[in-house]
Structure 1
């Protein structure tokens, strides 16, 4: 019997903006991008600055970029994704319809002066662009992809990638909060979506103290969840392993270490995601 597997790699886990300093080495300074390799398909969830770290050309793979949304930290790496310029076959790009624009129009904005020296006319024929519904199911060969709309300014999509009985869920950017009247309904939908996942990767940028303003400014309505909400959701959904992501951009390695130590004493299957960390799921 042939073994099936999903290879997952965190290329960028920082939120809001990327940075490079001696205090952000362990968890990394690049913004949102997860690489998933399944058979001859490679899926990138978002194209933050992390996508610039891709080393292989993946010439023999079909390449798919699935956008959660179009804030800078999730798209800024696309013009610098070198494989885009060297690959003979088109790169498949999917995402929900942005505010005010089509997906094609948003991508075109990324590739024109004065923001980028690379003209859209040089790139557009290299992309196969498709807008998808906010709640949908589609297939990449025999890989199932489900989407769910998340609470975030302008909206964002959550993705569930399922293959041969294995699944990984990405929920970023998301504000799951009791401060909103829709909390109970949103949480019920998320529980169903996440239920039984092997891996949950969730935006949990804030502690309760940070979210409610006991430390720093009040961050209600900023579009990001607390670590507490993430942990409780993963526990109730029976997730096997949970990885917290989308850190506050100024949070240092030492602070993340302390937070992870405190969390894992009570919840040993919850981790803080680290840039360049790889995970392997196998199924017979």
Structure 2
């Protein structure tokens, strides 16, 4: 399954807001074996958003959008998805009632323009939003699935976890391709030197490898694909790749996953029963802490 994430909001393009929602969604999709081929960010411009949506829906099986579900005139994600997929918009009475209750709990009248947030492409599966006034939706037509989510991460994340994630787990077939990931951490080698040593491994079947610079470290990101219901096949591919990488790079590989240089060094000191004595001046006990 090929997927694309479309993020809307001029604040994202201007760098005023970090796009953490796309990062979160991409990680969750990848963990299900859904290959995310594109991330697209577009401002609050209806012509450009329509163009982006047409392209995304045309080339991807699954499109996840974030943002553009507010009550203002420039919030047009739902309307443009409906236009691109040739679906009429319809009022969802349940969503309208939930929005009214949202304002009622705050002892405030619902502004008229918030009613817009209760309209969806017809026959959508509505995703409730107990935190805000922007419900999401899942639209399926002609083999294409579009998932519409709110932009703010504090609204998007629980909606994804509580409603989208279970839906995807049921939708993705057990025999579908899965992806397992492992990160090896390297110290004392630059990216080009690592590539020279590992270049032939980068074309192994069912394995993809990426080199990522992380300050003083280099990370080797390994992703293995498997068609098995379990992840055993993918784990075997990762194990074999890690063994060969460690053989070639030796002790330049100091850890993997969540392991850190500080933690590894600390454990080595403990294993060898070494102690460290320090003398501090002008640091207020920071080193000792």
TM band (smaller chain): under 0.3
Give the structure-1-normalised TM-score.
Answer: 0.27
Structure with max Cα Rg: 2
Structure with the bigger RCO (C-alpha within 8 Å, sep 6+) is 1
